Chains A and B, each alone.
Chain A
Amino acid sequence: MRNTIVSLISIVLGLIAGGLLMLFIGASPIEGYTYLFQGALKNISRIGDTLATATPLIFSGLAVAFAFRTGLFNIGASGQMLIGGLAATAVALTFDLSRPILLIVMVLAGIIGGGLWAFIPGLFKAKFNVHEVVSTIMMNWIAYWTVYYVVPGYFKGEFLETESRKLAEETTLRTPWLTELFQGSYINLGLFFGVIAVIIMAFIINKTTLGFELKAVGFNRHAAEYAGMKVNRNIILSMLISGALAGLGGVALYTGNASSMQIGILPSQGYDGIAVALLGANSPVGVFFAALLFGILYSGTGFMNAMIEIPPELANTIIAIIIYFAATSVLIHRVLNKFRKTRSNSNDVDGPVGKKGEA
């Protein structure tokens, strides 16, 4: 509850700051935001595009949040997405299977690829105490260069060296009834996978012994060890699951939203996942809504730029400001405390005696 309020306040403050920026460059914030939200939600097709934009963010946000609940900082969602996407693309371009089976194999390949890419840093962390921030960033670049090598070497596009061959429509996550329903939007099955992932993750975290262990290790690994939990196994497992989520995000990004892979690009959605997780307070449902918000901001910005002279970078700026406020949520907590204080007409809410709960 508290976290939700903090996130909402961060969003409002971010939007206000964005409005001030619009004023500063001489545009009307009301108009700007109207076009921004129109661009994202004006008609059914745009809503579809917005949802599709949000889909990879749901996955990368979940990936970061899941690792974070176990006390791990997975910065490598980008690389895991790349490998997941590459594996799925490779499957789609190589095997000639019936559509349902092909999709299942693609999804599995993406999960395994992403999972493997995070499993390695997890293993290093558990065995040699290599910090996962360092190793996941390094894995990002290994993924980057792997794609750089594999795509031109084995899946070269017809016209461009820097792109893989285009996937045939029936080998992507796009599906006719969904495209029709959203009037030609590039929305695809990835969104459903995303919703399922949110539900599964919420279930694991809150209802299972596995979630109990992972959270215990995240909060206090010494106590977890004391209680007989296998700390190292949980670290590896958590990274594996986190990477699998990101890998699935890669499948949605490269074989759903797009239909080919370009070389020389680390998907920014991986890093945005950190922001999504932060704004969503690491809870699965929070991540879902934070990803939707980012989807709105990203997909509406083009329309806004076309209608009035506000540069598209503004969406990024607003997101950055929102993240800034969410990251400094301590400040918001403090303001909330102060607010409560003046209401109850007493101070020092966090005094030592008040905290002990032993009146």
Chain B
Amino acid sequence: MSYVVEMLNIRKEFPGIVANDNITLTLKKGEIHALLGENGAGKSTLMGVLFGMYQPEKGIIKIREKEVKITSPNVANQLGIGMVHQHFKLVENFTVTENIILGSEPLKGMVLDIDKAAKRIAELSKHYGLNVDPHSKIEDISVGMQQRVEIMKMLYREAEVLIFDEPTAVLTPHEIEELMKIMRNLINEGKSIIIITHKLKEIKAVADRCTVIRRGKGIGTVNVKETSTAQMAEMMVGREVNFKVDKKASTPGEVVLQIDSLSVKNNRKVLGLKNFSVEVKRGEIFGIAGVEGNGQSEIVEAITGLRKVESGKILLNGKEITNIPIRKRIESGIGHIPEDRHRRGLVLDYTLENNMVLEVYNKPPFAKAGLLNGSAIKNYAKSILENFDVRSGEGGASIARTLSGGNQQKAIIGREMELDPDLLIAVQPTRGLDVGSIEYIHKRLIEHRDKGKAVLLVSLELDEVLQLSDRIAIVNNGELIGTVIASETNENEVGLMMAGVSKERSV
């Protein structure tokens, strides 16, 4: 048995923390190896060690059975290790070819030989089934395609070992399937792959073996075929995980949100939402399913006031809110867990305390006659952070930026739930979070529903929408395709509707 990569007994410390403690990971030639662990378990650190970003305190790394010291990413590249980062590192207004050759530009005499590179990229693309057009600009292609450009970068530099860091976090279900196909092609051509993830379903679908780490310690390596998802989850979290969302049947009450033939323009100044009408009632979780960019953002931003409405009406508790200011909407009972917690949800350079009063800082008891009341803010924040189990270094005084993604998200959810809104809009509430946090957040959303409030859930994860929602509206191309009852539908039906095939059944 030949190993391409062997990381033996790796130990890596940061001040105050042992990020990797005696972890061993071996990669066979031609296998897809999953690295599984919760947020902050030490996955990225371990891969950072392999990619030359950190030097381990202890342990040995062998590449093709030869012991090596990887002192920088350049060394890693020379050893044939490539990494596809979670956040792509591409120049938006360059073409695919220009991006790929960046840093190792082929020359013809004194000038760039773009054509030669483009030809080679086209060949590689065909060979691995990537289907990348070497001449399109990055800003014009989809996220899934951009990821392939990143993959192509590795292949162009003749990497043998490819590390994928959370590759599916940004992809639609269809793109995920495509990516898996590509991964299989890659191993058929003799490449080896390490995929960092916490999505068990994907590991099951694509990986051969799986190494689990928890809180910096190696828990073990298993054969994926012989291990159930539940077993892997238990290894990862350290306890049994409940995948099924427990919830009672909903008892819908009066209408909270009424959207009446709403049309909204998108960022390209064309209608991204056309003539859209739904009603959301008290005591239900109303899901919106659809492939990314089919009108979901427009719906949410129109309700919350972040985007102008072209025509149509939005009513909250029977009162029209179509054109009122954002603050008024918040005051009249809309809570919003935004899609992008860094862009919208938090002021990252503010303390957690300040972030917890971001919407209410100007109201008593937090402010009086324009003056802030520090101790009231502190106490309020403290109760939210305790209540929602937000873990941070210095409690409420921590700068929001220093928290892990899961804790940032819990803080936002806590802030919004504390306002006890009649309508809670949750957009991708569990994006990028680990199993433990997801379980927790789902529980809180259902609690909110059971208090007799309405929840509008927008998620690209079909599983999440199906499990949590009571009713589901499916959007495609900015139009409502139909509304289904969650307990009477299945993935196939919703999937078809997401593709735009409407069904003669509306609720």
Contacts and interface: CB of A to CB of B under 8 A. Distances in A.
A349 interface: yes
Given A228-B359, A347-B55, A357-B393, A352 B45 contact: yes
Interface stretch (B12-20, B183-191, B228-236): B12-20
Contacts of A223: 343-347, 358
A346 B347 contact: no
A226 B404 contact: no
B42 interface: yes
Contact of B306 (A209, A225, A358, A359): A225
Nearest to A203: B371
B250 interface: no
A224 interface: yes
A216 B350 contact: yes
Contacts of B403: 356-358
B344 A209 contact: no
Quick one: which of A213, A215, A228 has the most chain B CB within 10 A? A228
B306 A226 contact: yes
B374 to A, nearest CB: 8
B371 A351 contact: no
Interface in B276-334: 304, 306, 325-330
A207 B19 CA distance: 39
B370 A209 contact: yes
A338 to B, nearest CB: 13
Interface of chain A, main secondary structure: helix
A219 B14 contact: no
A221 B14 CA distance: 34
A158 interface: no
B488 to A, nearest CB: 36
B371 A228 contact: no
A208 interface: yes
B44 interface: yes
Given A226-B326, A357-B392, A349 B15 contact: yes
Contacts of A100: none
Contacts of B371: 207-209
A223 B354 CA distance: 12
Interface in B396-416: 398, 402-404, 407
Contact of A358 (B343, B367, B407): B407
A357 B398 contact: yes
A10 B358 CA distance: 35
Interface string B123-146: 000000000000000000000000
Contacts of A356: 39-40, 402-404, 407
Interface residues of B, number: 51
Given A347-B55, A351-B54, A226 B44 contact: no
**A interface residue count range (under 10 / 10 to 19 / 20 to 34 / 35 or more):** 20 to 34
Contacts of B221: none
B372 interface: yes
B348 interface: yes
A212 B356 CA distance: 13
Contacts of B54: 348, 351
A222 B325 contact: no
Interface in B348-377: 348-350, 354, 358-359, 361-362, 367, 370-372
B14 A348 contact: yes
A210 B370 contact: yes
Contacts of B48: 351-352
Interface string B48-77: 100000110000000000000000000000
Interface in A322-359: 344, 346-349, 351-359
B248 to A, nearest CB: 32
A160 interface: no
A215 B399 CA distance: 14
Nearest to A216: B347
A25 interface: no
Nearest to A344: B15
A338 B345 CA distance: 34
Nearest to B345: A223
A10 to B, nearest CB: 22
What 6 A-B pairs have minimum CB-CB distances, sorted nearest first? A228-B327, A357-B393, A354-B14, A356-B404, A353-B19, A228-B326
Interface of A: 207-213, 215-216, 219-220, 222-230, 344, 346-349, 351-359
22 contacts: A208-B371, A209-B367, A212-B361, A219-B349, A223-B344, A223-B345, A223-B347, A225-B306, A225-B344, A226-B304, A226-B326, A227-B326, A346-B14, A347-B55, A351-B14, A353-B19, A354-B15, A356-B40, A356-B404, A357-B392, A357-B404, A358-B403
